[in-house]
Amino acid sequence: LQEGVNVLRGVKRESDTVQLYNKVVVIGGARSNPSGDPDEWTDQGDASSWTTDPSANISEDQSERAAGTCSIHLSQPEEPGVVAMYLKYDFGVSGIDVAPFSHLRFHHKTDQNGILTENYADWTAEVILEDTSGRTVSKTYLTNNVQPPQTLTEVTLNLQEFTGDPDFDWTAVRYITLKLKTDDGTSKIWGQYWIDKLHFHTPNVKAEATDTTSNLKHTREYVLRDEKLTDPDFVQEVAEALLKTLKNTTNHYRVPVSGAPELQAGVKVNVEIPTHNLSGTYYIAEAEHRLTSNGLVSEITLEKPALTLEEILAESIMRRISLIERGGVE
Examine the pLDDT at 16 and tell me if it is beyond 60. no
Q: What is the DSSP string of 227-288?
A: TT---HHHHHHHHHHHHHHHTSPEEEEEEEEES-TT--TT-EEEEEEGGGTEEEEEEEEEEE
Contact 64, 152 (CB under 8 A): yes
Classify domain 36-202 by CATH number: 2.60.120.260
Contact 76, 59 (CB under 8 A): no
Instruction: Give alpha helix (H) positions in the chain.
Output: 232-246, 309-325
pLDDT in tens, 85-142: 999 999 999 999 999 999 999 999 999 999 999 999 999 999 999 999 999 999 999 9
- For range 12-26, the mean pLDDT: 70
User: What does pTM read for this prediction?
Assistant: 0.70
Output the CA angle 196-201-205, nearest 5 degrees: 160
Distances (CA, A) of 320 to 68, 85, 169, 311: 30, 44, 26, 14
At 329 the pLDDT is: 44
At 136 the pLDDT is: 99
Contact 102, 201 (CB under 8 A): yes
- For range 203-228, the mean pLDDT: 86
Cα–Cα distance for residue pair 319/330, rounded to 1 Å? 10
For the chain, which residues make up each domain, given as ranges? 12-29+210-325, 36-202
Cα–Cα distance for residue pair 235/28, rounded to 1 Å? 7
At 50 the pLDDT is: 98
Cα–Cα distance for residue pair 128/175, rounded to 1 Å? 8
Q: What are phi and psi of 244, to 5 degrees?
A: -60, -35
Contact 300, 287 (CB under 8 A): yes
Cα–Cα distance for residue pair 149/110, rounded to 1 Å? 6
Contact 195, 108 (CB under 8 A): yes
Kindly provide the residue ranges of all beta strands, DSSP E only, lying in 110-188, ordered along the sequence.
116-117, 123-131, 136-142, 153-158, 163-164, 173-182
At 293 the pLDDT is: 76
Cα–Cα distance for residue pair 28/313, rounded to 1 Å? 13
Examine the pLDDT at 330 and tell me if it is beyond 70. no
